[in-house]
Structure 1
Amino acid sequence: MGSGLLSRHALPGPPVPLDGSAPGQPERLRPLLRATTRLIAVIAWTLLCIPVQFVLLLLPGRGRTVLPRLYHRVLCRLIGLRVRVVGEASHARPALFVSNHASWLDILVLGGVLEAAFVSKAEVGQWPLIRTVARLGQTVFVSRSRGRTSQEAQAMRQRLEEGGSLILFPEGTSNDGTRVLPFRSAFLGLADAAAAVQPVSVAYDGLGGLPARRCDRPLFAWYGDMEIGSHFWQLARLPGGSVTVLLHEPVAPGAFANRKDLTSAVERTVVHGAAALRQHRPATPASTQPGRGGLAFS
């Protein structure tokens, strides 16, 4: 018995997988088990938070905005996404946070970092379960149809005038995560109702504990005709990822001559920040300045 025990310790055992799964477990089952576990955890956490948030909306206080932030932060952990934040969120209220947009994951990431509601396309308000979560999070839905533009703009302005901060994606759509699309100045037409506008750069920069390569970023991105269910399942099968949120210096909307100048300056700041993150360069919050050039790094 003793010699057998010694021999087992002396012989090298099978390598231990980096994802923590048991040695000898079939390789093809690990992603399936990982995704199934994450899906069950996400559904359970969501079903737990929905009734709590419903009650908080009926009560006074900050609970209605604090719980959504906790909800999104925990969701990131449950799906294996590590969030790194550089910079500080604006203390001025209400604030209009302006970010680039690559995926539905941006909702989880920014929702866990910023105490603010989202401005989302109307289609989201029709998705089962997700629409319930979005409405309880006080999301402002916009259809972007010409006939309702003024009405929806007024709804966003009213939210700001009531003191509620908003998170806006002025690209108008998501993309493959390797670039930032041009910002639409119409989205910042309500910026004058905010005490501050804060540019935000987001980049998914890690996968499986290693720096993400250009070919890895589309794994996180959700765009075009992708279905959110299948994209979640594909993503949940992967090892953990990481994302960096770069919070630039807030700017006063009144410092710019018009919304087009504001949009251009904020866009340059977000673009430069996102490019630095994608290239794994040191991330530094920038100060957005009016006029040509538009930004300065601190």
Structure 2
Amino acid sequence: TCYDTFLRDSVHSNHFRPTAVLQMGTLPTSKVLRAWLGSPDAVSFLLTSRPFNTDPLHRIAMPLYGDAHELAEHLQHQSVESEWAKTWAVLDRDTRSSIDARMEAMDTLFEGKVSWILSRHLPVGTPVFLASSMSVRYAEYFWSAGNRAHSIFCNRGANGIDGTLSSALGLAHRGKPAVLLTGDLAFLHDSNGLLAARQLKGSLTVVIVNNHGGGIFEHLPVAQMDPAFEQYFATPQDVDLAKLCQAHTISHQAVTDWDSLIEAVSVLPQAGLRVLEIQTNRKVDKSALSYFTQLP
């Protein structure tokens, strides 16, 4: 849903303030959602199949061990506030319509639009691996709801960047043609995974958003600490990805407009590894994100 956008408005976040929260599995990445769920007035329950802490918010919570089916069998019937859900659904629908209209009208290369396009144009049932940092976050913000049945995978945790390409190759091996959405640093961090391309029995399309550094840090206060920010946090790189792919005899395509991206992902190869590179500007991407998260 579009909670990351409309929960930024205090009117909406206060109106939908929960009195109880049932968390199943791990939380999404959105800081806006996490802050809203962290309300001290809400009673929290954590449903997990294994006895470990799945709550990064460190709330006082009641652990429930099992799965959703087991929980449903033992729950007593509860009265519900139907208007709450209806109002949320209407707001989510209207927010989605506004986002879609702005995406349709955007011609410039914005990192967030890549996720939006993939969600609409990848073949039905495509397995999608999301890299850490902004790749997974933009997918959370802009991946369109629908019936295309894309299976989503990612590595999470303090070292979620490790093994990004190799994990995606494992997903594609002996499976359906798969797609990896990644930034340049996550890709380069595991570029030795390219050595395994010859062993791949399947198809992997790597969509690299190359903004020449760590775009996620542009959204943090440390971005104001120039010149130290660029060297120590953004860590800019100028690797020629086309030549890197050529060295490994891997197909590389520079994508310079949205129509080319749509054409490249609407039908996926049946075998082999290929790279689609989209170059963006991280500082422009930050401003563009604000354009979508601050809707009137």
Structures share fold, TM-score greater than 0.5: no
Q: TM-score, normalised by structure 1?
A: 0.31
- Greater C-alpha Rg: 1
Q: Which has the higher contact order (CA 8 A, sep 6+)?
A: 1
